[in-house]
Amino acid sequence: MQYVLGLDIGIASCGWAVINQEKERIEDLGVRIFDKAENPKDGKSMATPRRDARSTRRTLRRKKHRMQRIKIILVKQGLLSKTELDHLYESATEVDVWNLRLDALERKLNPKEFTRVLIHLAKRRGFKSNRKETTLSENGQILESISENQQIMGQKNYRTVGEMILQDKKFESHKRNKDGTYIGTVTRQQLQDEIQMIFNAQRLYKNNYATAEFENSYLEIWASQRPYASKDQIEKMIGYCTLEQKEKRAPKASWSFQYFVALQTINNLRLISKDRIEELSFEEKKQIMNLALEKSIVKYIDIRKLLSVPNEFQFNSLSYSADTVDITVESRKCIELKEYHSINKVYKQIYEKNALNLLPKDYDTIAYGLTIFKDDKDILEYLQNKYVNAKGKPISNFANKTYDDTFIQALLNLNFTKMGHLSFKALKNIIPFLEEGLSYDKACEKAGYNFKGTSYTEKTKYLPVIPQNTNPVVHRALSQTRKVINAIIKKYGSPNAIHIETARELSKTFQERKEIDSMYQDNSKKNEHAICKLKELGNINPSGINIVKFKLWNEQDGRCMYSGKYIEPHRLFEEGYTEVDHILPYSRSLDDSYNNKTLTLGTENQRKGNKTPYEYMGNTSIWNDFETRVQSNKKITKKKQQKLLLQHFSYAREQEFIERNLNDTRYATIYLSSLIQQHLIFSESSRKKKVHTVSGIITSHLRSRWGFNKDRKEGHIHHALDAVIVAVTSDHMIQRVTKYYKLKELNRNLQAKRMPFPEPWEGFRLELEARISPNTQQYLKGFRFKNYADVNLSEIKPIFVSRMPKRSITGELHQETIRKFIGYNEKGKVLTAIKTKLEDIPFDANGDFPMYGKETDLYTYNAIKERFLSHKKDKRKSFQEPLYKPTKSGGIGPLIKSIKIIDTRTIVNPVNQGKGVVYNSKIARTDVFKKDEKYYLIPIYTIDLMKNILPQKAITAGKGYEDWTTIDPSFTFLFSLFPNDLIQIVPSKNKTIKARTTVSKKEVLLPSLTGYFKGVHSGTAGITVETHDGSVIANVGSKQLLLFEKYQVDVLGHYTKIKEEKRIGMAI
């Protein structure tokens, strides 16, 4: 079968469709869903908590080791014996250690006092960056606090940090960092200065223990710190060149990479006038590069002045609001050799005019050293050409040159971090051809590279494993897409072609995606508002086009954009009276965005035809009125204003628009299409273009014109619909659509308006509607499509969404927070208490809350409750002002900052020799047993891994863990459930499953439910199940079910019942 595979790839989905080209039909379609490879709260890597926890453990371990070594030398020095040291803190009447740190400057300390001071100073050593980083953007609040404390010490003449913290009002409430603040942060050097002052003072007061030798030994241990990371460790994390697979990538700060980027920018520059596009000459390109070497930032306006570019020309890489030179637009940055100028600045400061200029290799060497090495000592040795790696092997720097120590010390204030995508070897091979003025793709070809990817490789039937990508969200999306591609090839053979569309969010950062989501929500609200207003006007079920008309009518203050005439509201939807026009004709721009739409009277639109507004009205008296109308309307976006006032839309500019709207140039799209082209074998056909990237702008327009509105809230099936549209969006289809619009724009009479919008084949729209319906067979039989004559319709199943299972057991063993164990309640559940801020107290509707010790401290309880109720139950406002505990006499008592709140939990784990308890983290797996026609569920937590014993207690609703049902050999094991395993459940006789829709929250009653298992509640044994398309979710009691089955689902959504499963031990 000759087929085209269409892929619609998002950050958590892959819609797919197989189009049978021989029969002209939708052969198959489906959706694969997976979780985004990031923390949904903040977008950080899923490995961040584990990495942070490991870092904390390492820090605590090293601190403990440091304190052990400090105590050893204290005993060795004879300050105290080991026994005395072990009992040092048993007395409660000792002088506060902060006072002792000040006393150490003014009197002789006894051995016990001196020991306490030295131990206290060794516990917290102050902030020290691994490099000399001074920018607030990198260390934020820490550096701000350090700067503030340095100012306090200087202004108030405090001698030491200890004196400042003891005596300054800033530290009255607390002396240490607390609640995310850095109030007590100081530099390590400041504390080292205090230690040295204390030793000097003690020597003046004849303290025989404060010898210079002991001071040096103490400081050696106190200041010891491992480097952030070695060169070898960092190099392991650097990716490989996209062109030279065995070479590591070069630093972005290197001269070679900066020069490469600058050459690309210059070579891509074009000058556009009304009727032509001009390239820059070789000499002009050279002039721009020379300017970039002189100026740290080269703006477009600088290039216009340098080359004396006439005002009739504009730069191709800028968007202008009109056809005139815009100084504001051209003030944007064009070229910046930032790191080159940073290094140059340091060099000139050191040597002034007495030294020769640095060579390109010098800049590469310095950039490499400052990017790869994170320890000042290593950088110094590398640039001195004396670096020796961990294996004892001398490593020469790139220039094989020794730089001056004064120069190196000055360079240490610079900090470079990022890597490019090419290696030094590839850059060296490509740059000569870029210098000749060639574009990047042609330069790569001249250098012997395939610019779309790595070197040519042997092609295979199936797509190999996707190389690890630095963006985990992109990597997961592409890896899951690979599974879909290979599964389809296994079922249908090699494709004739693959069409790809990736979501605009895929290559965006978490913050950028939040902004896009906010934009979607804002647009959705505007549409909902429009629908409400339309219903008020009597339009009960407004169509998409009517919603757009209404929004444009409001935006344009009820007037036709071209004529300025008022549009009667009651005639707004009258056929022929008003029309939505493409400002830049669709046939000439392929732009169907809202910013290219305007509302006009039908007569005006007919006269405008296939022209831009300027081509229609320019050089006439009405243009000035139109221009004033557009510029004075503050509701119109700047982008729309630019299109409305564009005066010259030449053929060259048309092609630029079409190219931009047709081609998807996003990184993820290009990366995947390149991998497929390099590695995948396609079926033999006359088609030359095997991988076709499709722009979302085009597919969005086709979807709309074929009558399919995309609602992101309504489940996951729309991904399959999009994949079908992607698959049929060929060059030929686009030509047909363009031709349709051209005819319609030039011939706007009634007959032309009724021309049918092109479809890939006759009946396509109805066929697609049938294939995405849950009643597929019924629809196909009813429509009797000719292209299904040879198909057994009973074998065609509705789309069943496949989900990536979560069978790996990872993450924290238990929650970090340690709680106080109180006891058990009457049901046998564990009672715990946890310190809680006032604004985090869980108040009920009456203002009551489960405070620990309430009976013995009613004054505190009542004060909190009264404050909460007096502020209308607003927790944030209630405790903005300090709350003090009232005394028995009615006076003001101590400040209330927090209280202990009681919580109930079924299972807890003792820690710290039973002094506290922690809650389990998550249920990683649920084992299902059966006995006497009842089902029993055992939750297995991540912490059970450590115990290495499978739990044998099944959840018993409302009971404590000790009272749960114990599983013995009389119970039959059925299966283990992980999140996203497919199950089918049927309630007991004469019962239904109460569920709700995920969007409208409407309650629905179901006789049975087949869906994905999401989890189990350890207090009730209730299970959460979501339908395959995400449209319905239910919480169901498990014990009294009539039927409880597990199914295996493959990548394409085919599922089969699990017949038998053995209970296996835990594995990570």
pLDDT, tens only, 897-938: 899 999 999 888 888 887 899 998 889 899 999 999 999 999
pLDDT in tens, 170-191: 888 778 887 767 888 899 999 9
Q: Which residues of 1014-1024 are buried (b: 16+ CB within 10 A; e: fewer)?
A: bbbbbbbbbbb
Domains of the chain: 243-425 (no CATH), 543-636 (1.10.30), 820-911 (no CATH), 922-1057 (no CATH)
pLDDT in tens, 834-876: 999 999 999 999 999 999 999 999 999 999 999 999 999 999 8
User: Which pair of tokens denotes residue 581?
Assistant: 């026009």
**Strands 1009-1016 and 830-837, how do they pair?**
unpaired
Q: How far apart (Å, rounded) are the C-alpha atoms in residues 406 and 351?
A: 10
Which pLDDT band holds residue 1067 (cuts at 50, 70, 90)?
low
Burial of 190 (0-12, 13-18, 19+ CB in 10 A): middle
Residue of higher predicted confidence among 14 and 95: 14
Q: How far apart (Å, rounded) are the C-alpha atoms in residues 692 and 727?
A: 9
Q: How far apart (Å, rounded) are the C-alpha atoms in residues 618 and 635?
A: 23
Mean pLDDT throughout 584-591?
Answer: 88
**Do residues 952 and 903 lie in contact, with contact meaning Cβ atoms separated by under 8 Å?**
no
Residue of higher predicted confidence among 508 and 303: 303
Residue of higher predicted confidence among 505 and 702: 702
Which pLDDT band holds residue 114 (cuts at 50, 70, 90)?
very high
Q: How far apart (Å, rounded) are the C-alpha atoms in residues 652 and 737?
A: 20
Which pLDDT band holds residue 689 (cuts at 50, 70, 90)?
confident
pLDDT at 653 over 70: yes
- Say what the pLDDT of residue 665 is: 55
pLDDT in tens, 207-253: 999 999 999 999 999 998 776 667 777 888 888 888 888 899 999 99
pLDDT at 136 over 60: no
Mean pLDDT throughout 764-786?
Answer: 92
**Do residues 302 and 291 lie in contact, with contact meaning Cβ atoms separated by under 8 Å?**
yes
Mean pLDDT throughout 975-992?
Answer: 94
Nearest-CA neighbor of 819 among 901, 714, 713, 707? 901
Q: How far apart (Å, rounded) are the C-alpha atoms in residues 235 and 245?
A: 15
pLDDT at 732 over 70: yes
pLDDT at 15 over 80: yes
Question: Which percentage of the chain shows pLDDT scores above 90?
Answer: 53
**DSSP three-state, residue 271:** strand
Tell me which residue has tokens 């060929």: 730
- Say what the pLDDT of residue 65 is: 93
**Do residues 1040 and 934 lie in contact, with contact meaning Cβ atoms separated by under 8 Å?**
yes
**DSSP three-state, residue 1003:** strand
pTM of the model: 0.76
Mean pLDDT throughout 750-772?
Answer: 84
pLDDT at 507 over 70: no
Mean pLDDT throughout 565-572?
Answer: 90
User: Which pair of tokens denotes residue 216?
Assistant: 């040096």
The alpha-helical segments, DSSP class H, found in 537-601 are 544-555, 586-589
**Do residues 760 and 733 lie in contact, with contact meaning Cβ atoms separated by under 8 Å?**
yes
Q: How far apart (Å, rounded) are the C-alpha atoms in residues 1012 and 1047?
A: 10
Q: Give Cβ neighbours of residue 682 (< 8 Å, ≥ 6 apart).
A: 494, 495, 496, 497, 690
Rounded to 5 degrees, φ, ψ at 701 are -70, -45
- Say what the pLDDT of residue 922 is: 86
Q: How far apart (Å, rounded) are the C-alpha atoms in residues 119 and 494?
A: 71
Q: How far apart (Å, rounded) are the C-alpha atoms in residues 108 and 936?
A: 72
Burial of 7 (0-12, 13-18, 19+ CB in 10 A): buried
**DSSP three-state, residue 73:** helix
Q: How far apart (Å, rounded) are the C-alpha atoms in residues 478 and 463?
A: 11
Contacts 24+ apart (CB under 8 A), 325-334: 327/301, 329/300, 330/299, 330/300, 330/301, 330/304, 331/299, 331/300, 331/301, 332/299, 332/300, 333/297, 333/298, 333/299, 334/265, 334/269, 334/298, 334/299, 334/300, 334/302, 334/303
Work out the number of other CB atoms within 10 angstroms of the CB of residue 93.
4
pLDDT in tens, 1023-1039: 999 999 999 999 999 88
Tell me which residue has tokens 């591609």: 485
pLDDT at 894 over 70: yes
pLDDT in tens, 380-394: 999 999 988 878 889
Which pLDDT band holds residue 606 (cuts at 50, 70, 90)?
confident
Binding-site annotation, residues for Mg(2+): 8, 501, 505, 719
Q: How far apart (Å, rounded) are the C-alpha atoms in residues 696 and 669?
A: 11
Q: How far apart (Å, rounded) are the C-alpha atoms in residues 646 and 324?
A: 10
- Say what the pLDDT of residue 227 is: 66
pLDDT in tens, 257-311: 999 999 999 999 998 876 678 889 999 999 999 999 999 999 999 999 999 999 8
Mean pLDDT throughout 627-649?
Answer: 88
What are the strands, taking DSSP E only, across 467-588?
A: 497-502, 578-582
pLDDT at 454 over 60: no
Written as one letter, the residue type at 349 is: Q
Query: Mind telling me the catalytic residues?
Result: 8, 582
Burial of 850 (0-12, 13-18, 19+ CB in 10 A): middle
- Say what the pLDDT of residue 658 is: 77
CA 342 to chain centroid: 31
pLDDT in tens, 535-552: 877 777 788 888 899 999
pLDDT in tens, 328-369: 788 999 999 999 999 999 998 888 766 667 899 999 999 999
